[in-house]
A and B are shown apart, each in its own frame.
Chain A
Amino acid sequence: SQTIHQWPATLVQPVGSPLSLECTVEGTSNPNLYWYRQAAGRGLQLLFYSVGIGQISSEVPQNLSASRPQDRQFILSSKKLLLSDSGFYLCAWEGSPNYGYTFGSGTRLTVV
């Protein structure tokens, strides 16, 4: 069966520090992969999506970046975090378009 792993679960980082969040999927190949951010009390904002290795599309300009070095690995990064980067980050995968997402358990990022 397919599973999705996302880590770390929580992270407290100082302003200006780098960030790396990792997401891996098991049990499937060539999934569509997504990074969403959920601010407190708000809905989900799509940050990046990827339909294949090395293929990244950005939905919102910001100081975050994403990479997909392997088929089932999706990484969210930042060189210098801002206070406004705080939030709940969710990785998701989809086996085929409009099949429905499977989400990871999320990373709670607090920038201090």
Chain B
Amino acid sequence: AQSVTQPDIHITVSEGASLELRCNYSYGATPYLFWYVQSPGQGLQLLLKYFSGDTLVQGIKGFEAEFKRSQSSFNLRKPSVHWSDAAEYFCAVGSDTGGFKTIFGAGTRLFVKA
């Protein structure tokens, strides 16, 4: 069975600084990987996804993520953080048996300081 770990419970960055949120997964085959963002009191929004092909994927809101098979990682990055990026970010991994086996990480809360 697949699993996903987000090592950082919360991260604080200054506005304008770069951001990297870590995600490690465990899955025997090629995983389906996702990043979602959740603003307080709201549902989750899909930022980007990786299925195959180019290991660097671009998403919405200026985010990107890089799949590294050798490290079992799918870290989320943004070159310059805006105050509006403050939210909770979830990494998720799906299996090739279908989306109903998607597993979510515990989330990383991002704080942005002025």
Known A43-B107, A98-B32; contact A103-B44, beta-carbon cutoff 8 A? yes
Number of B residues with CB within 8 Å of any CB on chain A = 24
Check B104 against A98 for contact (C-beta < 8 Å).
Answer: no
Q: State whether A100 and B49 are in contact (beta carbons under 8 Å apart), knowing that A34-B100, A43-B104 are contacts in the complex.
A: yes
A74–B86 alpha-carbon span in the complex (Å): 31
> Interface on chain A toward B: helix, strand, loop, or mixed SS?
strand
Give the CA-CA distance A94 to B46 in the complex, in Å.
12
Give chain A's interface residue range (CB within 8 Å of chain B).
20 to 34
The A35-60 residues at the B interface (CB cut-off 8 A) are 42-44, 46, 49, 51, 57
Decide if A57 touches B100 in the complex (CB within 8 Å). yes
Chain A positions within 8 Å of B98 at CB level: 32, 97-98
Measured CB to CB, the closest approach of chain B to A82, in angstroms, equals 23
Check A42 against B106 for contact (C-beta < 8 Å): yes
Q: How far is the CB of B67 from chain A (nearest CB, A)?
A: 14
Which of B42, B90, B99, B105 has a CB less than 8 Å from the CB of A106? B42
Encode contact with A along B31-67: 1 for CB under 8 Å, 0 otherwise: 0101010000111111001010000000000000000
Bound-state Cα–Cα, A99 to B41, Å: 24
CA distance A96 to B44 in the complex (A): 18
Q: How far is the CA of A36 from the CA of B29 in the complex (A)?
A: 25
B46 touches A105 (CB 8 A): no
**A51–B100 touching, CB < 8 Å:** yes
What's the Cα separation between A42 and B32 when bound, in Å? Answer: 22
* Residues on B with beta carbons closer than 8 Å to the beta carbon of A108: 41
Most B C-beta atoms less than 10 A away, residue of A42, A99, A104? A99
Q: Considering the complex, give the chain A residue whose CB is closest to the CB of B93.
A: A98
Name 22 A/B residue pairs within 8 A (Cβ), A-sorted. A6-B43, A34-B100, A43-B90, A43-B106, A44-B44, A44-B104, A51-B100, A90-B44, A94-B99, A97-B94, A98-B51, A98-B94, A98-B98, A98-B99, A98-B102, A99-B99, A100-B46, A101-B34, A102-B46, A105-B42, A106-B42, A106-B43
Top 6 closest pairs, chain A to chain B, by CB = A103-B43, A97-B98, A43-B106, A98-B32, A49-B100, A98-B94
